[in-house]
């Protein structure tokens, strides 16, 4: 869908999004999500938290503040995390 609306190929969209992230943790999280997505697998917020090896609150903040536009489809709810952060 994004390829059609942006007029770019999928790889170029990913490169642009990755380059737009200034924070190293945000870039790492972006890659953590892109790799399974590339193979048509979903990744939940709990898996992102575990893979990033940061406190849940920091990972959720990255998702919401820096990656929100890129990963609007990733569900982030209290049931996705053990910390209970809404």
- Tell me: pLDDT of 30 over 50: yes
- Tell me: pLDDT of 73 over 70: no
Provide mean pLDDT across the span 37-63. 84
pLDDT value for 3: 54
pTM: 0.65
- Tell me: pLDDT of 11 over 50: yes
**Coil, helix or strand at residue 33:** helix
- Tell me: pLDDT of 18 over 60: yes
pLDDT value for 54: 84
- Tell me: pLDDT of 21 over 80: yes
- Distances 69 to 53, 65, 83 between C-alpha atoms, Å: 22, 9, 23
């Amino acid at each position: 869908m994004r390829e059609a609306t942006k007029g770019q190929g999928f790889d170029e969209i990913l490169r642009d999004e990755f380059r737009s992230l200034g924070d190293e943790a945000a870039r790492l999280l972006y890659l953590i999500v892109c790799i399974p997505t590339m193979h048509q697998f979903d990744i939940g917020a709990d898996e992102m938290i575990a893979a990033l090896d940061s406190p849940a609150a920091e990972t959720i903040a990255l998702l919401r503040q820096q990656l929100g536009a890129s990963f609007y489809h990733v569900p982030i709810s209290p049931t996705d995390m053990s910390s209970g952060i809404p």
